[in-house]
Amino acid sequence: MANYGFFWLVYLLASSLFIAIIWHLIVFRRAVLLTYGIRAIAIAMLATPWPSHVDGPHLAPALMVLALDGITLGTDAALRAFVPLFLSVVLGLVVAAIVWLRERKRRGFVAK
């Protein structure tokens, strides 16, 4: 795969642009946790790599592996990429909640 690095560069640039657009469009002043959560989900869905083939050394975005395995090999094969994608989304939401709690505490909004 001669253009493997180039394809990843293009994908990372495009997903960074998409995340920047999402970052500026998704802002809820009253529901800051929702803002952080949506941003975390977008980043996790776009930035999680996973092997594109069971025996292959090359990585691909897990969302693409999930979609293409589901289309071509069936739902059982799609679970191979669903698990790490799900775990990265959960981890992203946990990090978003921690950031939200720290921001809330820093600004003095402590629950009684």
Report pLDDT digits (tens) over 65-99: 899 989 998 888 888 889 999 999 999 999 999 99
The parent domain of residue 100 ranges over: 4-106
Q: What pLDDT, on a 0 to 100 scale, did the predictor assign at position 79?
A: 87
Q: How many domains does the chain have?
A: 1
Q: What pLDDT, on a 0 to 100 scale, did the predictor assign at position 94?
A: 97
Strand-pairing partners, residue 51, are: 59
Please give the Cα distance from 60 to 51 (Å, whole number). 6
DSSP per-residue string spanning 47-95? H-EEESSSS---EEEHHHHHHHHHHHT-HHHHHHHHHHHHHHHHHHHHH
| Residue 90 is assigned to a structural domain of this protein | yes
* Predicted TM-score of the model (pTM): 0.83
| Residue 112 is assigned to a structural domain of this protein | no
Residue 26 burial (CB count, 10 A): 14
| Residue 91 is assigned to a structural domain of this protein | yes
| Residue 111 is assigned to a structural domain of this protein | no
| Residue 47 is assigned to a structural domain of this protein | yes
